[in-house]
Amino acid sequence: MKKFLVTLILIFITSKTFAGVAYVDSFSFNTRESIPRTVAFNTDGIKMFVGGNTGNDINEFSLSTAFLPTTASFVRSLDVSSQSTSPLGLAFNSDGTSIEISRKF
C-alpha cells in the first residue's frame, strides 16, 4: 500500500531567497484516499479538502487547529465521478465560497 504524507513546512522568505525551512508535521490520508493528487485548505485553514484516484471524490476534513492536518476529522465525501475521473487540482475562489476542481481529460 502506498503511503502518502502531507508535510507542512514553514518557509521564511526574504526578498529573493529562503531564509530557513523547518519541518512542522505530517498526516496520512490512507484511510480515505490511497492515491491523493491534490490538497487544498479554505481561506481560514479550518477545512482541508483532498482529491485523488480512490473513489473519484473530494474528501472534506475539519481541522481543530487551522492548517494543521494532524487535527483533522473526516466530515464527508463529494462524489465527482460524473465530472472527473481523477481530480488533479483544487482551488478556492477569492472569498472562499466555492472550490474549483481541475481534472485530466
pLDDT band, residue 3 (cuts 50/70/90) = very low
pTM over 0.75: no
β-strands 18-28, 5-13: how paired?
Answer: antiparallel
Q: Is 47's pLDDT higher than 60?
A: yes
Strands (DSSP E) found in 1-105: 5-13, 18-28, 36-41, 47-52, 57-63, 72-79, 87-92, 99-103
Q: What is the mean pLDDT of residues 59-83?
A: 89
- Note the pLDDT of residue 97: 82
Looking at residue 12, its pLDDT comes to: 40
